[in-house]
A and B are shown apart, each in its own frame.
Chain A
Amino acid sequence: MTPERFRRIEELYHAAREGTPEERVALLAPIDSELRREVELLLSKRAGGEFLDRPAIENAPELLADSTVTALAPGVFLGPYRVESKLGEGGMGEVFRAVDTRLGRAVAIKTTHEQFGERFEREGRAISSLNHPNICALYDVGPNYLVMELVEGETIAARLKSGPFPVKIALSYASQILAALVEAHGKGIVHRDLKPANIMIAKSGVKVLDFGLAKSGEDETLTASSMVMGTPAYMAPELREGKPADARSDIYSFGCVLHEMLIGIRPSSQRKRMPSRRLEKIVSRCLEADPGRRWQSAAELEQELARVTATNFWRLVSAVPAVLALCAVAALISVAIFAWLHHAASVQIHSLAILGLENRSGDASQDYFAGGLTNSLAAGLARLNGLRVIPPAATLTYRGMKKPLAEIGKELNADVLLDGTVLRAGNRLEIRTRLVNARGGRELWSHTYDSAAADLPGSQNQMERDIAAQVHASAPDRARMIDTRKLDPRAYDLYLRASYHMGRLTARDTDQAIGLYEQAIAIAPDFAPLQANLASAYAAKSFLFAADDRECEELAFAAIEKAFALDPDSAEAHLARGELLWRPSHGFPHRAALAEFRLAAAARPNLGAAWSQIAGVLIHVGHLDEALVELRKAEALNPTEAISSGRASEVYLFQGKAQLSLDELSRTPYIVNIPIMEFDHAWALIDLGRFEEAARFIGAGFKDSKAGAAELKHAVSALLAARQGNRRAAESEIRAALAEPQGLGQFHHATFMIACAYSVLGDMAHAQEWMEKTAANGFPCFTLFEVEPSLERWRATSQGHEFLVNLRREWVATP
């Protein structure tokens, strides 16, 4: 860059910045493309520049200070985590054992030396998108520390010190490592540093750790880095040459690990015999120098290895002399059966998908009964810690489909599947259930419950307990399950029907749910979850449909108090209390609501709704990355839950990644009926400049007129009109939006859109007014405000700029 060229850029920059958008276009159009691009880049406001607005010395509060700092040591608190002891130290940082004081759960905290900051963030992002029993889970991300699942055990590296493993064990570990790689590669994540020291052998099985060098396939910025990272002995040759890693680089490293597990030494020119020719072939194909000649995917390799594991057994049999063969076969088969049973009993069940109980009565009016019983069974099982229950809502698409169970299991990422039938005839009730191993489709357990209809709650309770025993839940977990045995069967029936309507979120269904809960409570007034769920239903009604109905809020409040009186630790009651707090009439108390949702999650960590609500609040106060971490937890409990992935798409939209947001929405099939999601969808299209598509989408959507849809529809139409240069239409849509009732929960999204429209129209006074109202009414999402393209002109005003600086200051610390 020469000073002359700089002067030219400077001249264009100021002229463009100070002119109207039309003048800007006219000014830049005739300029050569490279110069224009540079000016446009400078004109596009970037987020994250606030630190420049403060003097450097304010950014460095402890840079020059006397060192009164102490090391992270036992007893020190790091946010909610109390450090207990140091577990280890590596090139990247240190690892501590700590306790999450909110949940009383032991965790591992991994810190990093400062210069690894960015890589560390990448690590966090990479792992948080992974959820697999063979991958160490990520719970939380701090400024430069990660809070992870505490895996206790020994690394494969430590175990290898006493020599190679028995073939059977080596193969079992290998298949678990591959399962982890299949999962990660499926998400576009390459480990890059797979080695024996990064693989733990825990009680529950193998856990792959340290995605410290992992990179997402889309993150090209890392590829550009010429720095070679990783451990040379296990590193694929192409990585040593500084070429980008892909799944096949991990396959090379995996080959090294398998080699070492089988014969105790790393691959080298010095040959040593493998246990079998077939294994020899598998390993040497992993170790090909040319990635094109290796196994091309972890899945392919997994299948091949599974075949070896299966035939190993028969190879042994065929080695026995013929005369003895018959006896040997009989003996070996019985050993094998015994081994299978033993294996089945000790099979690690981390996730269970509920495919649902089918109504076998032939009477469609009984459908609700089978459906409600299924939901309730799911809710009961979800109380088990350490078991991920994939609820029936997530498996709906598979019902009636003739897909092999093993495939369903794989798609849902479940270890076992639960299905069955229900027959209610007269006052008899027959429930058949079974657990099926998702890998292989073998039935693990089945049982038929036959009882008087009046004893339904007892049957269901027995069923939950039996299943809990099958999946090896611990005793305290079993004790946590709701005891429905004492519930009157008529109340229980009503409760099931109410739960069904609650899930549908329309105005009519919500009213029906309220009616049914009330009837159930009239019969069984002492059942805390009923009271709490009634409160949630009232809270939802007043938030979404009936802002002016103060009675709704009062009834919700009363029901919550009753629920707490019945069960002071009720997770459902904390959830309902948070939902009731967090609304316009209470001024959206973000911190108080978060506290309630966190209590709910602590009381019952697998209450997905609690994590999802935590994320909802975090999104509104601008903590988008943290919200994503919570959403991943909600999703882990229910991978296809609409509201979680809807909120994830919102996070992306708020981060200025409109295309990613649309991609996420497209994976959420039945979400389009929720007005706020339709609103986000239209807005993403507008941000991408796809105006005609947006117009069509708005025209076709927003059908649930009771769900606060009208103001959202008008507001997003206003932005569209403004972006298309139609001032009159934009202003008329704004008026229409403001004519709608203003007390509903999502009204601040509409006012935000109105501010955007004014900013595009160049009406800065109004833009400022509505931005201030938006933030004051529960939506101070500073990170969104800093990047939303439609707000560009408003951000350039000194008032807007100052407002943003102050808003960031107020909300930058995680609430």
Chain B
Amino acid sequence: MAPMASGEITNLLKAWSSGEPAALQRLAEQVYPELRLMARRYMKNERAGHTLQATALVHEVYLRLVDVTKVEWQERAQFFAMAAEMMRRILVSAARARGSQKRGGGRPNVNIDETAVLSPRPDRSILAVDEALTAFSRVAPRQAKVVELRYFGSLTEEEIVAVLDISSRTVRRDWDLARAWLLQELNR
């Protein structure tokens, strides 16, 4: 698929924001690959020893795709919410893929640079958090959303405030409770 000009993407975002659900599908088609690309690049740099701010990731995608001069703050917030959801999907499906590759009887792989760790287990934690979060969202949808934005979307507190339109105190309290809740579920 040919990449769209940022003007078109901006228009899609505005259309979706003003209540045209069909625009979302086309918007997602544009954003998802870009986000995935950025995530991979992030990993690569991280492995090369350049520490990047994960929180800048979604923001950077936003800057690359959207003509920021034409966007209202609500539209920006919606974009961030969508991107966080996508990041969650990207990470979860990568963790799944990795898991099945392992179960397929692959050899334990060792990265030459990190010889002390044969194969890390974080993908398991990503899958477990994803699962626990889905269950949690049934009783506490807003609190679960805070976790999705912060943990999977790497959004900052101010961005979460904007996306959910709640006070920063509420964001902190929601996070605190959700964190305790999830840990308890994960340790069960």
In the complex, which residue of chain B has the Cβ closest to the Cβ of A96? Answer: B108
Question: Roughly how many angstroms separate A814 CA and B117 CA in the complex, as a whole number?
Answer: 11
In the complex, which residue of chain A has the Cβ closest to the Cβ of B148? Answer: A56
- Say whether A144 contacts B122, CB under 8 Å: no
A62-B150 CB under 8 A given contacts A70-B112, A76-B112: no
Question: Roughly how many angstroms separate A1 CA and B140 CA in the complex, as a whole number?
Answer: 10
B146 to chain A, nearest CB (A): 12
The reply to whether the CB of A404 lies closer than 8 angstroms to some CB of chain B is no
- Say whether A57 contacts B87, CB under 8 Å: yes
A57 contacts across to B, CB distance below 8 A: 39, 42-43, 54, 57, 87, 91, 154
Question: Roughly how many angstroms separate A62 CA and B180 CA in the complex, as a whole number?
Answer: 27
Question: Roughly how many angstroms separate A57 CA and B118 CA in the complex, as a whole number?
Answer: 19
Question: Which of A1, A43, A144 has a CB less than 8 Å from the CB of B119?
Answer: A144
- Say whether B139 contacts A63, CB under 8 Å: no
Q: Per-position contact with B for A41-69: 1 when CB-CB < 8 Å, else 0? A: 11101101101111111111111111111
In the complex, which residue of chain B has the Cβ closest to the Cβ of A813? Answer: B116
10 pairs, A vs B, C-beta closer than 8 Å? A3-B140, A42-B181, A55-B154, A61-B47, A62-B111, A64-B40, A68-B111, A76-B115, A112-B108, A144-B118
Known: A55-B153, A61-B122. 9 other contacts (CB 8 A): A17-B176, A55-B55, A63-B95, A63-B122, A65-B44, A69-B111, A71-B107, A72-B109, A94-B107
A79 contacts across to B, CB distance below 8 A: 115-116
- Say whether A71 contacts B120, CB under 8 Å: no
A113-B44 CB under 8 A given contacts A52-B179, A59-B126: no
Question: Which of B90, B99, B115 has a CB less than 8 Å from the CB of A78?
Answer: B115
- Say whether A113 contacts B187, CB under 8 Å: no
A58 contacts across to B, CB distance below 8 A: 46, 54
The reply to whether the CB of B152 lies closer than 8 angstroms to some CB of chain A is yes
A111 contacts across to B, CB distance below 8 A: 108, 118
The reply to whether the CB of B173 lies closer than 8 angstroms to some CB of chain A is yes
Question: Roughly how many angstroms separate A114 CA and B112 CA in the complex, as a whole number?
Answer: 18
B143 to chain A, nearest CB (A): 8
- Say whether B180 contacts A43, CB under 8 Å: yes
The reply to whether the CB of B166 lies closer than 8 angstroms to some CB of chain A is no
A93 contacts across to B, CB distance below 8 A: 108
Question: Roughly how many angstroms separate A62 CA and B45 CA in the complex, as a whole number?
Answer: 11
B115 contacts across to A, CB distance below 8 A: 76-79
- Say whether B139 contacts A71, CB under 8 Å: no
The list of the 9 closest CB pairs from A to B, nearest first, reads A55-B154, A55-B54, A69-B109, A6-B139, A59-B122, A65-B43, A42-B180, A71-B107, A111-B108
A45 contacts across to B, CB distance below 8 A: 180
- Say whether B98 contacts A63, CB under 8 Å: yes
Q: Per-position contact with A for B31-73: 1 when CB-CB < 8 Å, else 0? A: 0000010011011101100000011010000000000000000
- Indicate the size class of the contact surface on chain A: 35 or more
The reply to whether the CB of A143 lies closer than 8 angstroms to some CB of chain B is yes
User: Using a CB-CB cutoff of 8 Å, which residues 95-116 of chain B contact chain A?
Assistant: 95, 98-99, 102-103, 105-112, 115-116
Q: Per-position contact with A for B10-24: 1 when CB-CB < 8 Å, else 0? A: 000000000000000
The reply to whether the CB of A763 lies closer than 8 angstroms to some CB of chain B is no
Question: Which of B95, B108, B111, B181 has a CB less than 8 Å from the CB of A144?
Answer: B108
Question: Roughly how many angstroms separate A77 CA and B117 CA in the complex, as a whole number?
Answer: 11
In the complex, which residue of chain B has the Cβ closest to the Cβ of A47? Answer: B183
User: Using a CB-CB cutoff of 8 Å, which residues 170-188 of chain B contact chain A?
Assistant: 173, 176-177, 179-184, 187
- Say whether A62 contacts B47, CB under 8 Å: yes
- Say whether B110 contacts A78, CB under 8 Å: yes
The reply to whether the CB of A652 lies closer than 8 angstroms to some CB of chain B is no
B122 contacts across to A, CB distance below 8 A: 51, 59-61, 63
Question: Which of A56, A70, A117 has a CB less than 8 Å from the CB of B121?
Answer: A117
The reply to whether the CB of A162 lies closer than 8 angstroms to some CB of chain B is no
- Say whether B125 contacts A46, CB under 8 Å: no
Choose among A17, A54, A60 the residue with the greatest number of B CB atoms under 10 Å from its CB: A60
Question: Which of A48, A62, A145 has a CB less than 8 Å from the CB of B120?
Answer: A62
Question: Roughly how many angstroms separate A686 CA and B39 CA in the complex, as a whole number?
Answer: 48
B96 to chain A, nearest CB (A): 10
The reply to whether the CB of A225 lies closer than 8 angstroms to some CB of chain B is no
A56-B108 CB under 8 A given contacts A62-B43, A144-B118, A144-B121: no
The reply to whether the CB of B129 lies closer than 8 angstroms to some CB of chain A is yes
- Say whether B121 contacts A114, CB under 8 Å: yes
- Say whether A14 contacts B173, CB under 8 Å: yes
- Say whether A51 contacts B108, CB under 8 Å: no
- Say whether A46 contacts B180, CB under 8 Å: yes
- Say whether B177 contacts A10, CB under 8 Å: yes
Q: Per-position contact with B for A75-110: 1 when CB-CB < 8 Å, else 0? A: 011110000000000000110000000000000000
B107 contacts across to A, CB distance below 8 A: 71-72, 94
A13-B177 CB under 8 A given contacts A76-B115, A142-B116, A144-B108: yes
The reply to whether the CB of A2 lies closer than 8 angstroms to some CB of chain B is yes
- Say whether B102 contacts A55, CB under 8 Å: no
In the complex, which residue of chain B has the Cβ closest to the Cβ of A6? Answer: B139
Question: Which of B99, B126, B180 has a CB less than 8 Å from the CB of A114?
Answer: B99
A56-B151 CB under 8 A given contacts A71-B109, A78-B110: yes
A4 to chain B, nearest CB (A): 9
B153 contacts across to A, CB distance below 8 A: 55
The reply to whether the CB of A365 lies closer than 8 angstroms to some CB of chain B is no
A216 to chain B, nearest CB (A): 18
B30 to chain A, nearest CB (A): 19
A259 to chain B, nearest CB (A): 33
The reply to whether the CB of B94 lies closer than 8 angstroms to some CB of chain A is yes
- Say whether B139 contacts A1, CB under 8 Å: yes
User: Using a CB-CB cutoff of 8 Å, which residues 1-55 of chain A contact chain B?
Assistant: 1-3, 5-6, 10, 13-14, 17, 41-43, 45-46, 48-49, 51-55
- Say whether A52 contacts B108, CB under 8 Å: no
B119 contacts across to A, CB distance below 8 A: 114, 144
Question: Roughly how many angstroms separate A5 CA and B139 CA in the complex, as a whole number?
Answer: 9
A109 to chain B, nearest CB (A): 10
The reply to whether the CB of B75 lies closer than 8 angstroms to some CB of chain A is no
Question: Roughly how many angstroms separate A632 CA and B2 CA in the complex, as a whole number?
Answer: 63
B26 contacts across to A, CB distance below 8 A: none
In the complex, which residue of chain B has the Cβ closest to the Cβ of A14? Answer: B173
A637 to chain B, nearest CB (A): 27
A46 contacts across to B, CB distance below 8 A: 180, 183-184, 187
Question: Roughly how many angstroms separate A463 CA and B98 CA in the complex, as a whole number?
Answer: 61
A52-B151 CB under 8 A given contacts A59-B126, A60-B94, A144-B118: yes
Question: Roughly how many angstroms separate A710 CA and B132 CA in the complex, as a whole number?
Answer: 49
- Say whether A52 contacts B129, CB under 8 Å: yes
The reply to whether the CB of A115 lies closer than 8 angstroms to some CB of chain B is yes
